[in-house]
Structure 1
């Protein structure tokens, strides 16, 4: 089927992708300001980020499947409406509790369109134009990430934290009006259109994600030895087990579990998870270090936070081309190795470090991620057959979001633990006048991240020598042509 307004459709899709990346990075930079204005400690303010990501992780597989059942366009438009309205309500929130509730709703909206954006592009664009369209989508991700950090810094410095959510509203309204005109009605020829959604699987994956991450985050406040926290954690793991058992038994599951039998796919996915955990663990700490320990304002912090995605935007296309020539496995190994080195450098920072050093270390981190991400994604998508590409893309997206939330939990849990050791009693917030306490905790967080990332590098080295691994020295055109 030929779509006359395919580039109009693409513009609508990338506008929402741009917004989701924009709001994520704006919020990260604004966290210290929001912590002060809403009078909540660091251990609580992370829920502004965590609630959004948990909401996405809990529902993204459901919305992906729902897109196959009732139509991707319908689910996508639903997500647009929910995300835009929730952005407005986040902005007018007057309390921390209100903000968290509306962030959860905002995450549901984001999940609905994130689960279907690549599917819409695949459906609308013919094979010979699909790679180009997906490339434009990737550019919108980089653009949102680049603009988000400095925008968040300037908005919180010159206006108020509320306005970081208001910026989404006009974009969302314009995009939805355009969507009503250009997005076609969902008419799928899929024979599964009348099949039932996997309600049991959807319920168990939703509950498992909410309980798992809720217990991990709340455990930072009350302690992980708390009986209630332990009980909730065990229940969440049981729900995961039940979900896996159900998915293996039913005919049309949310996710085909057999895809994980592919060793190269599973190993590449695990390495991706490690990289996202380490990257987001670092990102959540840096704004507090720059604003509270280094005494920089939110505007300058935003500019510094912009460096890492800028490096990725510039280097990633070149590393992608290079991986076609020398192999993806080598570049993914070098990328994780560089990330490990950057974490070692960052562990030596203190409240007296020069901004030049900070920038250099962040550049090294961005360079490592730029080498790793494109090549590892190529490995993930090139190791699965044509009929499993949709599953692979959904799982890859889920792993990215899981890495974000685990990174947040890991970094803050370690930070508070080491800070408590240093000061001699349990703390869950920045200690005013004791910058050395925060720097001490941050140092050991980066040491742990170095070890975790180095472990990932060792796994990629093992993958390089695995003779069973498939050859991935193919051009992107070849990969798309075979898989689609």
Structure 2
């Protein structure tokens, strides 16, 4: 009866509520990529080493992923609007503290505070949309959500480039304050409170502890795997990944015994929901994890500035504004399955097309067709994944469902960055050892020292051709120009293998989403 009344009398403020949610979502996702272009300036400001600098990115990603499920479930129990607004406040405070950070350690801690706030905004945004909109309007609303999601992820380098070049690096954090204040006011006035009235008010402490441990060990292990002297077989990495696996298993066993669990494992018996999570994982691992390496290619290999790089990423992000709502409408007409699978297939083809950069004569223009095709796929894929994730579960647990789906996205980014980075590093080091080892212009007794030095500098040095990457020790050696050329060629040829791996991940996502998602799993009483 209540559902019927809701359908007959939709909330007149619902589109303003969507705007509030999108403001918060935009901030949360923008800060995943906006910091990339500011890292060189931050490194110079704080005189930090590379490992400290990496944690400017990783602290945000780690806390974001770890807290997602917990805050989503707390929102289900105590109020989604309440925890969304708390997320806005925490994120804004974290942004202010980041801008005022006196040193790199403080900045990394405050990035974690940002990640905590972002986890609430990201997970509960889907739940709020699902409980605010019904029928065809829900598809359109998720289309707008997808547009903002795709735009924020891809436009980060452009916004960051403008702010860093025209103002200072602190401005990338200050910009969140007016946006956060606006979103907070709109959320207070326009979002209606919703919760799971059947949920127990007691907190599943064992569930919180186990899922936090499991996600922390998994994401931290994926982050650490590319540290110097560590790989997939290192005891430290095996211990983290093994600890994650054990924690997940115990978590499932515990949750199955509870009446009101943090996450009900039975949710994955719904094959369509599982398909949406797999699609979200493959999308993040195959596309969004790739942006870091594309940034290296455009800035360090092709020589574009941060701003020029951001402008070129518009070819990917621009389509999200147009195709997001279109994707939502198409989902209502033909279902989400063909759009998700088709969009992932388009993205797979686009990423495979990026292998043209292995040609020594290649320029930015060789990538335009691939970027445009990736833009079409990116613009189409996000709304139907979100729709599938929340339309295949009852309204009362959409917070939990959206939280798990978003964790799939974050783990996908962490896995993709680690996996693709390992491929890039291994290919790069092998090429350096082979090519420099065969140089006759370098004295034989100096070759191994140069190989070790260039290999330790890594693919980033290769993308720069050793410029500004500790190359001073090689500049007076015979054959230095050849070393530079080998390093850059090794980078771009290794990147070729990264594109192939990312394309395979996306193809797997396209196949599995086609096999798993079924129209019969969607709940008609939610329409």
How do 1:352-367 residues align onto structure 2 when only pairs under 5 Å count?
352-367=361-376
Deviation by residue 1:235-275 (Cα, 9 ceiling, x = unmatched): 22211211111111111111111111123332342133112
Matched residue SS, 1:249: coil
Matched residue SS, 2:356: coil
Deviation by residue 1:290-327 (Cα, 9 ceiling, x = unmatched): 11111110110111122212123323433444455555
Q: C-alpha separation between the residues in 2 aligned to 1:305 and 1:49? A: 20
* Aligned mate of 2:519, from 455, 459, 470: 470
Q: Which residue of 2 aligns with 1:56?
A: 64
In structure 2, the CA distance between the partners of 1:383 and 1:190, relative to structure 1 (3 Å rule), is closer
Deviation by residue 1:308-366 (Cα, 9 ceiling, x = unmatched): 12123323433444455555434433323222222222122157522222222111222
Q: C-alpha separation between the residues in 2 aligned to 1:120 and 1:328? A: 20
CA contact (8 A) 1:416 1:427 kept: no
CA contact (8 A) 1:60 1:398 kept: yes
Task: Identify the range of structure 1 (169-178 vs 228-237) with the bigger mean alpha-carbon deviation.
Answer: 169-178
Residue 416 (str. 1) matches residue 436 (str. 2) = no
Q: C-alpha separation between the residues in 2 aligned to 1:239 and 1:30? A: 36
CA contact (8 A) 2:283 2:344 kept: yes
Residue 213 (str. 1) matches residue 266 (str. 2) = no
Q: C-alpha separation between the residues in 1 aligned to 2:341 and 2:139? A: 25
Q: Which residue of 1 aligns with 2:508?
A: 455
How do 1:273-312 residues align onto structure 2 when only pairs under 5 Å count?
273-312=281-320
Residue 196 (str. 1) matches residue 202 (str. 2) = yes
How do 1:81-160 residues align onto structure 2 when only pairs under 5 Å count?
81-123=89-131, 134-142=142-150, 144-145=152-153, 147-160=155-168
Q: CA deviation at 1:455?
A: 2.7
Q: CA deviation at 1:6?
A: 5.3
In structure 2, the CA distance between the partners of 1:210 and 1:253, relative to structure 1 (3 Å rule), is same
CA contact (8 A) 1:332 1:460 kept: yes
Matched residue SS, 1:195: coil
CA contact (8 A) 2:17 2:187 kept: yes
Q: CA deviation at 1:173?
A: 3.1
How do 1:223-302 residues align onto structure 2 when only pairs under 5 Å count?
223-224=230-231, 225-302=233-310
Q: Which residue of 1 aligns with 2:79?
A: 71
Task: Identify the range of structure 1 (150-159 vs 455-464) with the bigger mean alpha-carbon deviation.
Answer: 455-464
Q: C-alpha separation between the residues in 1 aligned to 2:283 and 2:14? A: 34
Q: Which residue of 2 aligns with 1:398?
A: 407
Q: C-alpha separation between the residues in 1 aligned to 2:76 and 2:393? A: 20
Task: Identify the range of structure 1 (442-451 vs 332-341) with the bigger mean alpha-carbon deviation.
Answer: 332-341
Q: CA deviation at 1:164?
A: 1.0
Q: C-alpha separation between the residues in 2 aligned to 1:268 and 1:261? A: 13
Q: Which residue of 2 aligns with 1:475?
A: none
CA contact (8 A) 1:76 1:117 kept: yes
Q: CA deviation at 1:231?
A: 2.1
Q: C-alpha separation between the residues in 2 aligned to 1:175 and 1:319? A: 25
Q: C-alpha separation between the residues in 2 aligned to 1:321 and 1:419? A: 45
Q: CA deviation at 1:102?
A: 0.9
How do 1:312-351 residues align onto structure 2 when only pairs under 5 Å count?
312-325=320-333, 328-350=336-358
Residue 483 (str. 1) matches residue 526 (str. 2) = yes
In structure 2, the CA distance between the partners of 1:385 and 1:446, relative to structure 1 (3 Å rule), is same
In structure 2, the CA distance between the partners of 1:70 and 1:374, relative to structure 1 (3 Å rule), is closer
Q: CA deviation at 1:124?
A: 5.4
How do 1:436-451 residues align onto structure 2 when only pairs under 5 Å count?
436-451=489-504
Q: Which residue of 2 aligns with 1:476?
A: none
CA contact (8 A) 1:69 1:195 kept: yes
The alignment yields a C-alpha RMSD, in angstroms, of 3.2
Q: CA deviation at 1:377?
A: 4.4
TM-score for both structures, normalised by structure 2:
0.79
Q: C-alpha separation between the residues in 1 aligned to 2:176 and 2:140? A: 26
CA contact (8 A) 1:69 1:197 kept: no
Q: C-alpha separation between the residues in 2 aligned to 1:31 and 1:244? A: 39
Matched residue SS, 1:190: coil
In structure 2, the CA distance between the partners of 1:381 and 1:215, relative to structure 1 (3 Å rule), is closer
Q: Which residue of 2 aligns with 1:20?
A: 28
Q: C-alpha separation between the residues in 1 aligned to 2:418 and 2:76? A: 33
Q: C-alpha separation between the residues in 1 aligned to 2:172 and 2:321? A: 23
Matched residue SS, 2:226: helix
Matched residue SS, 1:252: coil
CA contact (8 A) 2:68 2:123 kept: yes
In structure 2, the CA distance between the partners of 1:28 and 1:437, relative to structure 1 (3 Å rule), is same
Q: C-alpha separation between the residues in 2 aligned to 1:79 and 1:246? A: 28
Aligned length: 472
Q: C-alpha separation between the residues in 2 aligned to 1:116 and 1:199? A: 20
Question: Max radius of gyration: which structure?
Answer: 2
TM-score for both structures, normalised by structure 1:
0.85
CA contact (8 A) 1:32 1:291 kept: no
Q: Which residue of 1 aligns with 2:377?
A: 368
Q: C-alpha separation between the residues in 2 aligned to 1:149 and 1:242? A: 40
In structure 2, the CA distance between the partners of 1:96 and 1:307, relative to structure 1 (3 Å rule), is farther
* Aligned mate of 2:456, from 392, 406, 427: 427
In structure 2, the CA distance between the partners of 1:34 and 1:295, relative to structure 1 (3 Å rule), is farther
